[in-house]
Amino acid sequence: MTDQSADQTTEQTYETIESTLMGDGVRVIALNRPERLNAMNPALIRDVARAFDDANADTQTRAIVFTGNGRAFCAGDDRHDHTHPETEQQARALVDAIQRATHAITFGPKPVVGAINGWAVGGGFEWAINCDFPIWGESAGAFFPEVSLNLFVTGAVTALLPALVGLQKAREMLFLGQRYTAAELSEAGLAWRVVPDLALRDEAMETARHLAALPPLAVRAMKRTLNANANADLNRALQMETDATVAGFLDPETTRLLKDF
């Protein structure tokens, strides 16, 4: 029996995600709610964490491409399919699920190439930042609306964003909620590359194949060590974000702002 046949794993199915092993060790994880611009509902949040956990456990997967089907990567929270938590327990369960997705992307051993198409808003922008090699289509854009909605960011961006763009730029992006083009994100240091929209998936696949061909032991060690040293307080940021987001969910003012939004 060869090592490959011994490591054969059963493909998983998900409600809101497509996860496909493409060959050469590259797995594509695609958000698959195109009719809602891949907006985040509880099922999608749960599926993202599970899909990345499964990919990280799959010995045949050596690199991951993370993208969205349709016209957007992820348009943030789905206001039409997302039950607003009414108790602290409900709020904490929801936010913990969001943070589990970030943990699986960021702390998982497999390198993640983002293929960011269309809008990446709020939590979707956070997932784009969580990628190791974020490649943006030239017509893509992003912003954080959370503070204007009396909410808080998640995804460890309170640690990752200042490390990538500097504290002052992070303040601008998080407090003011301005919208940024892919070119502006590249200039700020958040887009590793910006490519024509039609070339986005090909560029992401090429990068992932390059990563998949590298010795996996060294790749895992490099990702783990870089994240540990560059973002020493990532776990602390996740916990503080969770507490702040739960508090926002429980404030009645948040409900009014979300309805207006």
Q: Are strands 112-116 and 63-68 parallel, antiparallel or unpaired?
A: parallel
Please name each of the domains of the chain with its CATH number. 12-204+216-260 (3.90.226.10)
The number of angstroms, rounded, from the C-alpha of 69 to the middle of its chain's C-alpha atoms is 14
What's the pLDDT at 81? 66
Helices (H) and strands (E) in the chain, counts: 11, 9
Query: Considering only CA atoms, which of 115, 105, 111, 159 is closest in space to residue 136?
Result: 115
What's the pLDDT at 49? 97
Query: Considering only CA atoms, which of 93, 10, 120, 97 is closest in space to residue 47?
Result: 97
The sign of the dihedral angle between the CA atoms of 124, 10, 100, 249 is positive
Provide the residue-wise pLDDT of the chain in tens; the chain has 261 residues. 333 433 444 578 999 999 999 989 999 999 999 999 999 999 999 999 999 999 999 999 999 999 999 999 999 988 776 567 778 998 899 899 999 999 999 999 999 999 999 999 999 999 999 999 999 999 999 999 999 999 999 999 999 999 999 999 999 999 999 999 999 999 999 999 999 999 999 999 999 999 999 999 999 999 999 988 877 678 889 999 999 999 988 888 877 777 666
What's the pLDDT at 10? 53
Distance CA 230, CA 4 (A): 34
- Cα-based distances in Å from 200 to 136, 146, 223: 7, 28, 23
- Cα-based distances in Å from 214 to 44, 89, 223: 31, 43, 13
What's the pLDDT at 85? 76
DSSP strand E in the chain: where? Answer: 17-23, 26-31, 63-68, 112-116, 119-121, 133-137, 141-143, 180-181, 193-195
Distance CA 69, CA 76 (A): 14
